[in-house]
Structure 1
């Protein structure tokens, strides 16, 4: 693991002093980690992985291997103990893995068939189609949050630079900001930039730019309540730790579960932490759609009409208050299926 850390640090052009400052620990510790004379804690390994952009699974396996070897050394019963431990870990893993419902399995199969069909039409895609669908996404996403602009008005603000009489400055900024946030996540996808804390904060910064500049891209420092919901988000002092767990979960599961389930889970987990003073749900949807785009799917555009919005929020609250995410994941999967069907109908004509 020591060479893994050193190579990653040098690749990023960072000195041990700079890494220590960013992690808030002593410089001598970084040197000891790299020499192998001192082992980092689990939390330190996770922070190093994020800072140095090392695959979490790779570094955790290396760290655990060294930890196991240190604990058991050359004990004569070590190998037998490891074999029994492996069997126990495999048993626990099987018992804790949640099986997908038959309804969700069927839906995911239909989605993947649609994705395969869409891939055969990709050559007929065009910037104009993408631009129109991105505009619809901005309109619907803002409509869910109470923005009163019509689709046409949203178009005039974004593409013509016009000011709509009777609409607030905030509504204008919400349209402009969201459209720029879509461009940002598409750029992340095209450049194959992995999802880390920096990217989530950057998305949120775009969403609240000019609306709450002092809070844009920053975790909240006060307690919040969610209007119309019985769920109470964590206290502000817990947000940073909850976000750390959020990214650990992502790194641990990003290659293990279906991308649709992964995207829905990340949406639900982020909005449940509610790390920002405002713009949490929009940011969560954008993070969800970034993951979908990274896996070759398209933006799941949740509609802002009353029925769709109620189903969306009710399934989300069930996930938050009853620890049952089935309805929410199904809702997201159904939304992606409908978005794929519409996209294919447009470019496949």
Structure 2
């Protein structure tokens, strides 16, 4: 790996001092990386790969190889241990096919991780008013996806001024108020470090349908449903409880093994595919996704409710549901998160 780093830096005609400025990594550390006397962290690998334009997969393989060799050295049982580790890794890939990430998606994840590192430097400039404005936009867009006709300004008046908008239904008013309260609830879960489990998901859904369909709020459906405009047919009601048990088991198994963006997108897709509720599945799934993103220090992935964005969202979901191909959906969510990060940084870094 040390050869890769030095050759790439020299190819770009950069001095170690210049590379240090571009990556925000100490110059002495970069020299040690190139001499092999010090190993970079994964975050530093992401930065170096991006700035030096080294293929991420190539650099990661070299980095992992050196880590493995350093750890096992010339241990007598090293080869046998590696063989058993390979068998276990193969099992994990079979159990979770989405562990295999395309090059396009990996590059996008690298860009997102670089943005998150940048965001962390500006955390001190976070403010309640910025968060409040962005959460209001999220409520507006998430409800707009589901057909709510309140404008952003009207949503603000309903939530923050307690006004009633002439010509708008009571349901639309409640959808705005409920969604904003659901955001506050997931933030409380994060502050208290509460785990994501069945009780919390049902509580989120209960808030979404509170006062709208109280008999169905926070309860799994007991009837068959269809998704308007989609050829996908959700599971029969008698399968919902078992599917949800599998949903939580999957989360517990992979919550520490997947990239947070992939984990959040997977949980969104899996929940909305089970479609466990009579209504409010989309909003609940997006809130669960954003709960996971916020838990890991990312920002709310705000999917827009305009026609083009909504159609891309629905089509990528349907492809995942009917063709067992989640690539388009994972790319879609990753792109949304990247754009949300870029906007957030642009606001607080001014």
Instruction: Give the aligned partner of residue 92 of structure 1.
Output: 91
Q: Number of aligned pairs?
A: 268
Shift of the 87–113 alpha-carbon distance from structure 1 to 2, 3 Å rule, reads closer
Instruction: Give the aligned partner of residue 178 of structure 1.
Output: 179
User: For the aligned residues, what is the CA RMSD?
Assistant: 1.7
Instruction: Give the aligned partner of residue 108 of structure 1.
Output: 109
Cα deviation 1:57-91 (Å, max 9, x = unaligned):
xxxxxxxxxxxxxxxxxxxxxxxxx9998875454
Mapping for residues 158-307 of structure 1, pairs under 5 Å: 158-307=159-308
How far has the Cα of 1:95 moved from its partner? 5.8
Structure 1: tracts of 5 or more residues without a match: 1-81
Q: Determine the C-alpha separation between the residues in 2 that align with 1:332 and 1:248.
A: 23
| Larger deviation, residues 310-319 vs 88-97 | 88-97
Instruction: Give the aligned partner of residue 56 of structure 2.
Output: none
Assess if the C-alpha contact under 8 Å between 2:139 and 2:176 holds in 1: yes
TM-score by length of 2: 0.74
How far has the Cα of 1:99 moved from its partner? 1.6
How far has the Cα of 1:93 moved from its partner? 3.6
How far has the Cα of 1:92 moved from its partner? 3.5
Shift of the 167–95 alpha-carbon distance from structure 1 to 2, 3 Å rule, reads closer
How far has the Cα of 1:231 moved from its partner? 0.3
Q: Determine the C-alpha separation between the residues in 2 that align with 1:320 and 1:84.
A: 35
TM-score by length of 1: 0.75
Q: Determine the C-alpha separation between the residues in 2 that align with 1:101 and 1:222.
A: 38
Cα deviation 1:176-217 (Å, max 9, x = unaligned):
000000000011111110100000000000000000000000
Instruction: Give the aligned partner of residue 336 of structure 2.
Output: 335
Shift of the 91–176 alpha-carbon distance from structure 1 to 2, 3 Å rule, reads closer
Moved over 3 A (4+): 82-98
Q: Determine the C-alpha separation between the residues in 2 that align with 1:87 and 1:156.
A: 57
Assess if the C-alpha contact under 8 Å between 2:93 and 2:100 holds in 1: no
How far has the Cα of 1:219 moved from its partner? 0.2
Q: Determine the C-alpha separation between the residues in 2 that align with 1:286 and 1:323.
A: 23
Instruction: Give the aligned partner of residue 134 of structure 1.
Output: 135
How far has the Cα of 1:94 moved from its partner? 5.1
